[in-house]
Structure 1
């Protein structure tokens, strides 16, 4: 079987989705499958619509012999991939990682609304957002299989996007053990990611201002997107990782911190809350006091020792080899 991966970003681009796409390709090839990748290049600088047309042409030219197309996002590559899959009668598997519609709405309005709340009572959308919603609904209701990284997001999406449950799968993100220093003297918390509104960094800064009034020895490092190896080095030198986002479906940053034996403070609005609960403190992202109080709690030596030990011994293992096997199973699933 030949597989085509359609992705918006891919190395040398940096970030979690690029690392995921590359690691999935390598794992599939390691199992003897022929894998081609179509990614954004000049499309990043083009307006919506034209960008999709360019991607469609690239996908058409690359899809001759491929039997399964795996689209690693919805709006950017998923829509062109759907058109190509229907035209050439190819199997289409769409992986839903985040939510472009909710992200676009939050960035435009600066409204502090969580992902579940957004879909419980969808607010008034702009014309572009209504288009995004309609096209995403068409994609997810038409794809042969929709893959989610958590059951939490699947349950949120099923009704609004009219997805048939029997055509969905859950393939969790990778969790691979790393070795990191266990004795870090500096009380430095680490945040890393894209500087967008839903990441809730202003609330994080406000919380740390309150914490420093009681604990002036505490510091916060805010890092933009960096290459994966550099991010792992930053995690290794940190006291803990903190993720106060309005919502996070399945934050690789949290999983990688725990894989390094580091405790995390993470939004309660996440699909991996139960999975990582022993090694994490969950916060209400809309409550600055709660964020500050959980930081202070993790600064307690006994609490930190408990969470760090849980992080070092947590029984999660999910390799890219296993992820590749799960995608192969989905690609071979009867229609």
Structure 2
């Protein structure tokens, strides 16, 4: 049966700014451009929402939270009626959920009862949420265990589960998820970021970070490493993004004497983002909860060397001495040394930037879309008795991360 009508269930979607929201949008738009009838079901946003071409977006009731200024949640008992009506009206051939939260769990449960195939993609690590609440270590660890257990329970409803990298798949298996689990890159429009470096006359060097300014991104480590860089040539850190820790980070920059060498841009538009990638010399990702890191992919597509924490999925992208360097998470001195080794030689930066483009070539969004079209067909043909975990190891798809 050809797959034509697709429902994408997303608990975060633009105008939200984060990797999961951006991926859901790229996936929906890309599938719509290929002729599929795509419907996105996601939480209502606060304030006006810009229009988007391609998929039809259905917003369900949502509520703000005390832990994050912009993130909104939809609770199952409040949205179930709307979700039932939408699924009845759309009559999808497949439901693809992007999380195990309110929208994802509601749609996956309803779809399973209606006999509609379910595909699920995991973008979640407990660190993405625990950092917003000031919890003591033991309580945070217990909450993380409960969150993983809940994730596994909800994703167990799907015929096929994907995660962006082999390491992300491994985390799901380690926490008890059985069935077909595949690594599929979130993908990127590589041509959009392929551009020559910007010409600069300031004589200095620039390190760029792009992402949410939240706890698990560890931007404080980058600022402290900046303080250890030599005064000449001058090194400037540009930070693109916003989040709950921005005020603290600005205060830290002043306290350690680097405020004059740090630029906080906040959220920027697409052209400004491209310009930021073009003018930087090195991209830095100190985060420790990256299941893939879209920003790192973008920087690599722009031909930049990357210095990143040796954590979770970042080693899939950063190959030490080839396209950048890895450093032990949280180690300020090691990050300073890694940045210095890359910043110190223009020929090294050029060689590593070329290697970044070669490595990222396997992450083109077209391959990701091909893969999900195939997986939707596969899910539709899978009997309701789900396959055992080992079956997933036999699958080969061109957009697998880390291939």
Could you say if the C-alpha distance between residues 224 and 110 of structure 1 is closer, same or farther in structure 2, counting changes exceeding 3 Å? farther
**CA deviation string 1:251-277 (max 9, x = no partner):** 111110110111111111142424442
Question: Hey, what does 1:173 align to over in structure 2?
Answer: 186
Query: Retained in 1: the 8 A contact 2:95–2:108?
Result: no
Higher helix share: 1
Could you say if the C-alpha distance between residues 299 and 130 of structure 1 is closer, same or farther in structure 2, counting changes exceeding 3 Å? closer
CA distance in 2, matches of 1:127, 1:149: 25
Query: Retained in 2: the 8 A contact 1:207–1:289?
Result: yes
Match of 1:75 among 79, 92, 101: 101
Structure 2 length normalisation: TM-score?
0.72
Deviation at 1:289, TM superposition (A): 0.7
Question: Hey, what does 1:260 align to over in structure 2?
Answer: 302
CA distance in 1, matches of 2:234, 2:35: 52
Deviation at 1:40, TM superposition (A): 1.1
Could you say if the C-alpha distance between residues 59 and 327 of structure 1 is closer, same or farther in structure 2, counting changes exceeding 3 Å? farther
Q: Secondary structure at 1:36's aligned position in 2?
A: strand
Moved more, 272-281 or 64-73: 272-281
Query: Retained in 2: the 8 A contact 1:59–1:80?
Result: yes
**CA deviation string 1:157-185 (max 9, x = no partner):** 2031x212x41121112141323332545
Deviation at 1:237, TM superposition (A): 2.0
Query: Retained in 1: the 8 A contact 2:208–2:237?
Result: yes
Deviation at 1:106, TM superposition (A): 4.1
Q: Secondary structure at 1:79's aligned position in 2?
A: helix
* RMSD of aligned Cα (Å): 2.7
How many residues matched? 321
1:53 correspondence with 2:97:
no
1:35 correspondence with 2:38:
yes
1:230 correspondence with 2:272:
yes
Deviation at 1:82, TM superposition (A): 2.3
CA distance in 2, matches of 1:24, 1:50: 21
| Structure 2 residues not aligned, in runs of 5+ | 45-60, 67-71, 243-266, 384-403
Q: Secondary structure at 1:306's aligned position in 2?
A: helix
**CA deviation string 1:129-174 (max 9, x = no partner):** 56534421211223221111001111122031x212x411211121
1:305 correspondence with 2:350:
yes
| Structure 1 residues not aligned, in runs of 5+ | 113-122
CA distance in 2, matches of 1:249, 1:102: 11
1:14 correspondence with 2:17:
yes
